[in-house]
Structure 1
Amino acid sequence: MRIRRVITTRDGGVSSAPYESFNLGDHVGDDPAAVAANRARLAEELGLDHDRLVWMEQVHGRTAAVVDGPREAPLEATDAVVTAVPGLALVVLVADCVPVLLADPEAGVVGAVHAGRVGARVGVVPAALAAMKEAGADVARVEVLLGPSVCGECYEVPQAMQTDVERHLPGSACRTRKGTPGIDLRAGLWRQLADAGVSRIGIDPRCTNEERSLFSHRREGTTGRLAAITWVDQGENR
């Protein structure tokens, strides 16, 4: 089966500053009409009906939901979503956290995860893998893309926080560009996935804090959200 993955940038929408312009987050203070217009354009560009996009009310937790059909409303208090339904696109919104897109192409099961510091620490990615297995996926076949996020060289934290996260997410501790304690969530998630038996892991190396075409809460404070989307294409492989 053909797995599709898309990551948006901040360009090409209708939102005004400080959300300019392709903000897809409806919880950040942007004009709801602008967000609705941006979401409608996203669905059109993907070639999907608007209700085929599954959104989450992300809360930095580890709840993973399995969906089996279109939804008008976001999944409440959910940070990972899984489906085996072709043409149902799973959306994760970020502005520094790690968007994690997972797929078992043979089983036709996909997942999307919002993995910030808190969610990664409490195990949202293992929860997503467990939900994928229940939906028919085999971890040995799972492919993962760790999307753009704040990099370890930019993610400065207090020493106590670094120590705590490293204890729960080994491999995440690092030093920032300034030589201070930092967290590299993608490095920690890569190790966690590899330890779980996932062998195909790709990383989008872009840092949201450094790349001006991406939204970054750390850089800007009040800002929009980019989307990472995955789905099983209903068409033939190309």
Structure 2
Amino acid sequence: MHTWHWHDWQGLPYLTCSLLTDWHHGFFTQQFWPRSPEDLTKLMHPEASAYRLKQVHGNIVVTPEEIENNPGEEDSGLVSGDGLISQYPLQALWVASADCTPVLIGDMKTGQVAALHAGWRGTAKKIVPGAIARLQNQGSQLHDLRIAMGPAIAGEVYQVSLEVAAEVGATITPHKEEQQIIDALHQLPNSPLLADPEPGKVKLDVRRVNALQLENLGISAEQIAIAPYCTYQTPEYFFSYRREQQKKIQWSGILNKSPID
């Protein structure tokens, strides 16, 4: 079983996952707000460079080189996208989240890493499988990947419409019709759907859907860890957009390391 550990930096709490022990990484709490990824990267390595994106709830995955060759959006100076894949050591990759799932990936063999922001929209667009395909193009083998999903809104408190559930569920079932997709999801072992008393609504576990997408690629459950923390239900540590309706975020990041000799 993968374990999650709390750490303390200057009196502030952050979380790590045993699956990613080989990499400097962290799922940082709201206590670090409003520190920047550049500040947090210094905690990992004094010489590392920080990379982040203007997140748009899509499935665009870019590399640091692509960021450096792109002027970015006029308003923010940032490149739009929801996923980053490293190429070289000392590249720290960062994603921001409030209720969406932060996903950190490390490759045991190449040392490369990825950081992804997977809300329901990104999950419906298969951002995590897309990022893994890109890692494979850079030489990764599926069995070498280790994937940790950080604190996010839990299924039991995430009410969505049947339409949203079907759009997300279509990524893990062969069905096309809304009701067929919903029925198929309910029949899955450890289903990502929970019934909701309100007509036309269900509760959706987005992290579980991402895990099923990964398993459909041939990645084993042992390579995947899901944090036992819900942003909505843990106000002492995490911002939640659903809870507060405020655009405040926490950062999750991971640092590339040199490949195994």
TM-score by length of 1: 0.80
Residue 54 of structure 1 is matched in structure 2 by 51
Find the residue that maps to 2:117 and give its secondary structure.
strand
Structure 1 residues 174-183 or 64-73, which shifts more?
64-73
Residue 17 of structure 1 is matched in structure 2 by none
Residue 227 of structure 2 is matched in structure 1 by 204
Residue 224 of structure 1 is matched in structure 2 by 248
User: Does the aligned pair in 1 maintain the 2:110–2:259 contact within 8 Å?
Assistant: no
Cα offsets for 1:27-61 (capped at 9, x unmatched): xxxxxxxxxx5445323322334x70110111111
Give unmatched runs, 5+ long, in structure 2: 1-20, 174-184, 186-190
Find the residue that maps to 1:192 and give its secondary structure.
helix
CA distance in 2: counterparts of 1:3 and 1:38, whole angstroms: 20
User: Does the aligned pair in 2 maintain the 1:83–1:135 contact within 8 Å?
Assistant: no
Residue 9 of structure 1 is matched in structure 2 by 29
Residue type matched to 2:249 in 1?
R
User: Does the aligned pair in 2 maintain the 1:63–1:78 contact within 8 Å?
Assistant: yes
Give unmatched runs, 5+ long, in structure 1: 14-21, 24-36
User: Does the aligned pair in 2 maintain the 1:65–1:131 contact within 8 Å?
Assistant: no
Find the residue that maps to 2:104 and give its secondary structure.
strand
CA distance in 2: counterparts of 1:138 and 1:102, whole angstroms: 13
Find the residue that maps to 1:168 and give its secondary structure.
coil
Residue type matched to 1:182 in 2?
K
**1:127 equivalent in alignment to 2:130:** yes
Find the residue that maps to 1:153 and give its secondary structure.
helix
Q: How much does 1:152 deviate?
A: 0.3
Residue 43 of structure 2 is matched in structure 1 by 45
CA distance in 1: counterparts of 2:78 and 2:46, whole angstroms: 19
CA distance in 2: counterparts of 1:141 and 1:197, whole angstroms: 12
TM-score by length of 2: 0.73
Q: Which aligned segments of 4 or more residues in structure 1 are displaced greater than 3 angstroms?
A: 37-41, 68-75, 169-173, 176-180, 233-236
Residue type matched to 1:186 in 2?
R
Find the residue that maps to 2:170 and give its secondary structure.
helix
Aligned length: 213
User: Does the aligned pair in 2 maintain the 1:60–1:116 contact within 8 Å?
Assistant: yes
CA distance in 2: counterparts of 1:39 and 1:125, whole angstroms: 22
In the alignment, which of 90, 93, 100 is matched to residue 87 of structure 1? Answer: 90
Structure 1 residues 158-167 or 193-202, which shifts more?
158-167
CA distance in 2: counterparts of 1:111 and 1:220, whole angstroms: 29
User: Does the aligned pair in 2 maintain the 1:89–1:230 contact within 8 Å?
Assistant: yes
Find the residue that maps to 1:157 and give its secondary structure.
strand
Find the residue that maps to 1:125 and give its secondary structure.
helix
Aligned-pair identity (%): 26
User: Does the aligned pair in 1 maintain the 2:24–2:44 contact within 8 Å?
Assistant: no
CA distance in 2: counterparts of 1:130 and 1:42, whole angstroms: 28
| RMSD, aligned CA | 2.7
Find the residue that maps to 1:140 and give its secondary structure.
helix
CA distance in 2: counterparts of 1:131 and 1:189, whole angstroms: 17
Residue type matched to 1:166 in 2?
G
Q: 1:178 to 1:47 in 2, by over 3 A?
A: farther
